[in-house]
Structure 1
Amino acid sequence: MASLWSKISATLPLNEEQFPLQFSNKVESSVVERLRQSRQQLYSNTTSTSRMLNAQIILDISWEKLNTGTWRDVDKEWRRVYSYGCLFKAAALCRENPSEDELLQAVRTCDMGLLMGAAIMDNILQDIVRILQCEVRKSVKEEDEGEHMQVKRRKTASPHVPSIKDGLAVPRIKCPSLESFNTNYLLPLKPVILEGIIDHWPALNTHPWSIDYLRSVAGCRTVPVEVGSRYTDEDWSQTLLTVNEFIDRYILNKSQISPDGVNDVGYLAQHQLFDQIPELKEDIRIPDYCSLGEGDEDDITVNAWFGPTGTVSPLHQDPQQNFLAQVVGSKYIRLYSPEDTDKLYPHQSQLLHNTSQVEVENPDTEHFPEFIKAPYLECVLQPGDVLFIPVKHWHYVRSLEVSFSVSFWWS
């Protein structure tokens, strides 16, 4: 642990003069002065208490700015201020022989900067959190190994797996050529399951994803978690948890699934995960078929979907083409054509206009009589399968077991 600060300081500029702190006049001069004080303390022998106090003041002021009005109205300058505050606080926590709790606090501080702030100094928070994570792994490795051996013996209830009806199954094809996929599925906007196209992913080979693997590469990392069985529920909310906390609370604690759905479900669903945790991003690859789109690779949105048995995504549609790649577990999926939107009863509110009011597997036919007339396709997506969901196609998803999927949205 004695060399931790030397590793962190190696990521910093050599001296105070080379440490950038340029802000527009949108940031008050008193805040900029506070930032300069923290910068000076970074290169001097001041007390740990003083460093922490200055960093916390910067965080408190910028946090208030981040939470005033809607997120899209938050000026990027204040997000940068917040990231600098996170940098100064993490440095203060790690300057002098940090305890395990202080290490974890520093990791969380960096993650908050990565999630809520804006990139600063060539994304220095990512470099620092990588160093901290290595130290955390060393300190908790033995304890975790003993705990995880017990976890493997737990059992969960068998999920209800629908039988796929004859004539309703999503077609399957193995490794079609780009030309064949474009002609037969992309241009006519027909759903299809592509087999064999992600078999080379490290996530399915050299680094097979599992609960233990996720703990090892990301257990101490703080991530956004959706709480609630589905996002249309009144009690649905979002919170921040470490990956370990999420696994312990929502993945391993589910011994049964109630008949009317899952209560107190947590779901890790976000597009920042792979940027926040590059080790996971290195385990996947963007499908070659995305090259048929109009944009370049930077325009592709990659999402992570990790949750327990019974997690439901209500019937909804997305504004882009979608490849849903199944890595761990299985999912039941039902698809409806946008041509039948009038039979699917979308919510009237602007916020949920892309989501159906109908509970797909238990429809209220009295209130939604036309729904049962809408034709659909269905499938059970298994590890290694990739489902092409054409733009605007309605889709309903239910996890049949603990599941980790990756989706690629592209135009």
Structure 2
Amino acid sequence: MVASSHAEQLYGLCASAAREIHEECASLLSAGPPNDDATASSLAGCGPALVNLLSRQAVQVRNCYGSLHSTRVCSDRLSPDERALILKRLDDIASIAYTKFYAFIFKDLPACWRQLYTDASILKFCFTLLHTPYVGEYSWVPGDRGSPDGLDSCELGELIKTLDLAIILAGAAGERRGRRWIDRSFELLHLAWVEDARGDGGIAFSDRPPRRTKLSTNSDGQGLDTNEQRRMTFSTDEPFTPPVRHPIRTVEALPLEQFQAHMDRPRDQKLGPEPLVIRHAIDEWPSLNTRPWKDPTYLLSQTFGGRRLVPVEIGRSYVDEGWGQKLITFGEFLESHIGPTLSGTKAEPQAADQSQNAPSIPATPVAYLAQHPLFTQLPALRNDIVIPDYCYTSPPPHPTDPSIDQPELDEPLLNAWFGPPGTITPLHNDPYHNVLAQVVGRKYVRLYSPLETERMYARGKEGGVEMGNTSLIDVGVVEGWDVAPYNDDEASAQSVAGFKDAPFVDCILEPGDLLYIPIGWWHYVRGLSVSFSVSFWWN
């Protein structure tokens, strides 16, 4: 079988990366001791021993790609033990770099360690790719894993995991390669994967249909299958719906000038602009129409059948005891935490008088893909949304505390929020103005003004982490919607009584709604159904 043009481009990209890494390392080793600036911004800061070790692995990978154009392919030149040793050395380099991540606050971590992790990951990806069933223009390589029918799912998962860890853990650092190289590799790998699924040739990544319909065939997350894919959407069922008591002002899509006027001429000059729900301003987003995020089949198609890694929060709320974070495949996230809420195209009926009943306790811990820069990791999904024009206006500073204001952003900060019913973001405030876009499902949001900050009872430093932007008050517990977490005695009766007297506004966001949250406003967010939102921070 002849490799596709996309596969050929991917092999060429890998060959260039191995050559570049070797040349960069060789240049650093021959240049002598670096100055401080060079140390901070290049691999030189990792020391000559590690640079030399990385260089030797780059030579091995480079030579393997060079052998594609000779009569001796890499599998003939290297024994299985030699191949295993190269992979172990690359894993060792990445592990050494990763230990340095714990020695610094991430923003202070020298870039050299992040680049070292990224370059080791790139070489591992390139070397693993070589030992997949099809190599460049050449046919089946005898003795490799898998079969001519296709690349084993585990191999594809390993390729994806290697680069995803470089993105999530190391920020895909490196000026010459880094994120640009990884994004391009994922793009080419995905195109080859799609070609194979259509029978157009390319690297054979087989996704054989399982015997029964489910979200993924195993923990590796192969994704939805067969005819059931076309009928599945995320359920709109809401196990619990809080009442809206003090509705936020709601308007139809505003011209930019009117939104600017809303911020410039508030009803209360001391308070500043107030929250605003804006409807029908994002109706043309592909994520709501032609590339719908409510369709799990589409989301899986953009994540290699669910094989992309994502960080999720495990637990009801990030302030609860036992809360944690975990890296899992997107397919596993859907299978384990969203799968029970799948439905057909018709919405399921909701129980009558739901708002009067406390929500049931979930059988498994709630998992939330929360405040994650998903669109940096998955550029294809970024193309499904558009930054609202409102984020390019000139908002006012914080109304009561100038110390909270941040340096001006060049571009809005985008984060994804995706989870099952019952996800909770506890009462907190942010140092930016925020436009929250609801794409899938519904969310309840309650807001308190910055003038009520004293009655929000902010936390302090906890475990060395500054939590001053988060309240001690658990809104769900105070309202009787939730059972108090184990050993939750942080908020005194006096503070709860003071909090209950604080005025607030609230709303339920529907798909296609925008919620403007001014800087400094305390807000509590609760997912009512399966929900996918995007936040845009700007100043």
Q: Give yes or no for TM over 0.5.
A: yes
Gap runs ≥5 in structure 2: 26-41, 65-76, 134-150, 198-205, 211-223, 267-272, 343-356, 396-406, 479-490
- Structure 1 residue 320 corresponds to structure 2 residue 377: no
How far 1:307 sits from its partner (Å)? 0.5
Task: Identify the match of residue 24 of structure 2 among 8, 14, 21.
Answer: 21
How far 1:148 sits from its partner (Å)? 5.0
Three-state SS of the structure 1 residue aligned to 2:226 is helix
Counterpart of 1:217? Answer: 302
Three-state SS of the structure 1 residue aligned to 2:311 is strand
Check conservation: 1:325, 1:407, Cα contact below 8 A: yes
In our comparison, the structure showing a higher alpha carbon Rg is 2
Range that drifts further, 34-43 or 369-378: 34-43
Three-state SS of the structure 1 residue aligned to 2:497 is coil
Task: Identify the match of residue 113 of structure 1 among 152, 156, 166.
Answer: 166
Three-state SS of the structure 2 residue aligned to 1:357 is coil
How far 1:287 sits from its partner (Å)? 0.6
Q: Structure 1, residues 207-248: CA drift from partner, whole Å, max 9, x if none?
A: 111222111112211111111110001111111011101111
Task: Identify the match of residue 176 of structure 1 among 254, 266, 270.
Answer: 254
Which amino acid is 2:287 matched to?
A
Three-state SS of the structure 1 residue aligned to 2:160 is helix
Which amino acid is 2:536 matched to?
F
How far 1:102 sits from its partner (Å)? 1.1
Which amino acid is 2:249 matched to?
P
Task: Identify the match of residue 305 of structure 1 among 414, 417, 423.
Answer: 417
* 1:372-383 correspondence to structure 2 within 5 Å: 372-383=500-511
Structure 1 distance, partners of 2:509, 2:183, is 34
Counterpart of 2:182? Answer: 125
Which amino acid is 1:401 matched to?
S
* 1:10-409 correspondence to structure 2 within 5 Å: 10-12=12-14, 14=16, 18-19=20-21, 21=24, 23-45=42-64, 46-47=77-78, 48-96=83-131, 97=133, 98-117=151-170, 118-120=172-174, 121-122=176-177, 123-136=180-193, 138=197, 139-140=206-207, 142-143=209-210, 144-146=224-226, 149=229, 152=232, 158-165=238-245, 168-185=246-263, 188=266, 189-210=273-294, 211-218=296-303, 219-253=306-340, 259=359, 261-262=361-362, 264-293=365-394, 298-349=410-461, 351-363=466-478, 366-367=493-494, 368-409=496-537
How far 1:328 sits from its partner (Å)? 0.1
Three-state SS of the structure 1 residue aligned to 2:46 is coil
How far 1:380 sits from its partner (Å)? 0.6
Which amino acid is 1:9 matched to?
Y
Q: Structure 1, residues 289-331: CA drift from partner, whole Å, max 9, x if none?
A: 1111378874310010000001111111101000000000000
Determine what percentage of the aligned residue pairs are the same residue: 33
Structure 1 distance, partners of 2:227, 2:384, is 25
How far 1:253 sits from its partner (Å)? 3.9
Check conservation: 2:433, 2:518, Cα contact below 8 A: yes
RMSD, aligned α-carbons: 2.8
1:179/1:352 CA distance change after superposition, 3 Å:
same
Which amino acid is 2:48 matched to?
S
Q: Structure 1, residues 152-210: CA drift from partner, whole Å, max 9, x if none?
A: 49978632223323xx1111111212221111246531110111211111101111112
Q: Structure 1, residues 345-386: CA drift from partner, whole Å, max 9, x if none?
A: 222336221111112133178341111111111111000000
Which amino acid is 1:140 matched to?
D
TM-score with structure 2 setting the length: 0.70
Range that drifts further, 281-290 or 214-223: 214-223
Check conservation: 1:333, 1:395, Cα contact below 8 A: yes
